[in-house]
Copies of this chain bind each other. A is one copy, B any other.
Amino acid sequence: MNLKSLSQQIKIKESFLCVGLDIDLSKIPTHILNEKDPIFVFSKSIIDATHKYAVAYKPNLAFFEAYGIEGWKAFEKTIDYINKNYPNHFIIADAKRGDIGNTSGRYAKAFFENYGVDAVTISPYMGRDSIEPFLSFKDKYAVLLTLTSNEGSRDFQYIEQKGVPVYEKVLRLSTKFENAHNLMYVVGATKSENLKSIRNIVPDSFLLIPGVGAQGGNLKEVVLNGINSNCGLIVNSSRGIIYASQGNDFVEKAAEKAFELQKEMSEYLKLYKII
């Protein structure tokens, strides 16, 4: 699925919501633990409950990897399930990978070709040749960590040379990469004060915004500073939706929380005349 189709879906669904699949077996309803494949059963339930309100899913690989081979099988099944049943949903593997040139190419091939996701999150630390291998696949995207939502983002991302912080250097240099049109950027919702200057550097790019809700980010602020004429935002919520309830009503509660966000998003899309 390409970004043009994603933009269409945003208009059709009146939503730019991404649901983060950070699946922790210690937090899911206990009755699911008796299932043969509880990770997948939980993922599937959440996806079925939220697909009407979301345009994207973001499985975080750390959670799947933590369960070893079974976790990887559940990841594979989750991606296949989305691709088969909801082919108009954009899938971001939140893997934060990156390695030297041809080794990065291995990761890219694994995620794009073997698993069939649309995008992968990437760490920029190793520079251009660690990122470009992810950009050479048609209609596949690398989502570059730029300014993250966590406290540790202050440690290295704000280091300034001649007034330009590292995260801005990452942005500026990345626009010169080969196939830069296949780049998207992670900008934490907790950093909405920086969104305006980021938007100036990459006016047309899609920004993936985690950190709304549980991590303290504010949706209104994000929209005010980050929206462009095409929306250009994918806002992620994980815990706030998937763990809205740990009881038997977790499906209804997840749907409710996703619907709440979708309604708010619909208002913003109207306000900014995108729909």
Q: List residues of A whose CB falls within 8 A of some B CB.
A: 22, 60, 62-63, 65-69, 72-73, 76, 94, 96-101, 103-104, 106-107, 109-110, 114-115, 123-131, 145, 148-157, 159-161, 166, 169-170, 173
Contact = CB atoms under 8 A, between A and B. Distances in A.
Contact of A62 (B62, B103, B153, B170): B103
A145 B126 contact: yes
A153 B126 contact: yes
B69 A124 contact: no
Contacts of A153: 126-127
20 contacts: A65-B106, A67-B110, A68-B76, A68-B110, A68-B114, A69-B69, A69-B72, A69-B76, A72-B72, A98-B123, A123-B125, A126-B145, A127-B150, A129-B151, A129-B152, A130-B150, A155-B169, A156-B173, A159-B169, A161-B161
Contacts of A170: 156
A160 B98 CA distance: 22
A66 B110 CA distance: 5
A125 B145 contact: yes
Given A60-B99, A65-B106, A107-B65, A159 B159 contact: yes
A127 B103 contact: no
A123 B65 CA distance: 17
A206 B145 CA distance: 28
Nearest to A98: B96
A161 B160 CA distance: 6
